[in-house]
């Protein structure tokens, strides 16, 4: 089976994590970074999860999972230390048409979580289809070595450039050629060297759009 890779918009959407141990805790950063509305269902929480609860980052349902707990959820991660509970979560999620991942149990996953490298808005996800997550981690570590702060800053500048570029060049193929010219130019190298003025000047020379006139951030 080949998975369809996709990035989900979870901001404000109810996501349920069943289990309050270390495995469950490891799943929280990605959900919270996406601004998901996270509910953790577990009798007890790790100190890390308790700190997140105290900070208002998650809701805690302080008991074991019961059928019906997934109502209204968009996504579910089950990390309970109980195979029967995980099986029940899988069954309810499937019945409700909710995307579910039972940790370390690929046959009971309608989605799998990749290993992720981030630099600002640049996100690279690596997956082995659930067969060898450790390999995905090692590949992700190698990719992280190729990425720097210049990639994050490039995307900030690109975000400021999108609308004026679209207004100046209404034909998609024109904009496409310009975007590749920008990426293939020395802009990333200039940003890596800390020469942002030079990077903005190069953008202006390639596109005719002057980002020096208005700071994009």
Domain ranges of the chain: 1-113, 114-147, 149-207
Q: What is the mean pLDDT of residues 27-51?
A: 97
Q: What is the mean pLDDT of residues 18-47?
A: 97
The residues near 117 (Cβ < 8 Å, ≥ 6 apart) are: 123, 124, 126, 140, 143, 144, 147
Under 8 Å between Cβ of 23 and 42: no
Percentage of the chain exceeding pLDDT 70: 97
CATH code assigned to 114-147:
3.30.160
The yes/no answer on whether domain 1-113 falls in CATH 2.30.30.140 is: no
Is residue 125 predicted with pLDDT exceeding 60? yes
Please tell me the least confidently modeled range out of 1-10, 159-168, 207-216: 207-216
pLDDT at position 101 is 97
């Amino acid at each position: 089976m080949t998975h369809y890779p996709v990035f989900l918009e979870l901001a404000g959407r109810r996501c349920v994590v069943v289990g309050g141990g270390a495995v469950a805790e490891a799943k929280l950063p990605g959900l919270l970074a996406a601004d998901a509305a996270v509910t953790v269902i577990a009798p007890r929480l790790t100190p890390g999860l308790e700190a997140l609860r105290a900070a208002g980052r998650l809701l805690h349902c302080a008991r074991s999972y019961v059928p019906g707990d997934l109502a209204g959820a968009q996504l579910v991660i089950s990390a309970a230390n109980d195979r029967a509970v995980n099986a029940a979560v899988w069954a309810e999620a499937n019945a409700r048409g909710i995307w579910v991942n039972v940790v370390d149990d690929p046959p009971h996953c309608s989605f799998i979580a990749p290993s992720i490298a981030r630099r600002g808005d640049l996100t690279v996800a690596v997956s082995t289809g659930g067969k060898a997550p450790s390999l995905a981690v090692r590949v992700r570590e190698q990719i992280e070595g190729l990425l720097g702060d210049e990639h994050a800053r490039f995307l900030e500048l690109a975000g400021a450039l999108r609308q004026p570029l679209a207004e100046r060049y209404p034909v998609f193929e024109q904009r496409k050629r310009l975007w590749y010219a920008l990426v293939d130019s020395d802009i990333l190298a200039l940003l890596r060297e800390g020469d942002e003025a030079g990077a903005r000047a190069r953008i202006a020379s390639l596109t005719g759009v002057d980002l020096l006139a208005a700071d994009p951030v």
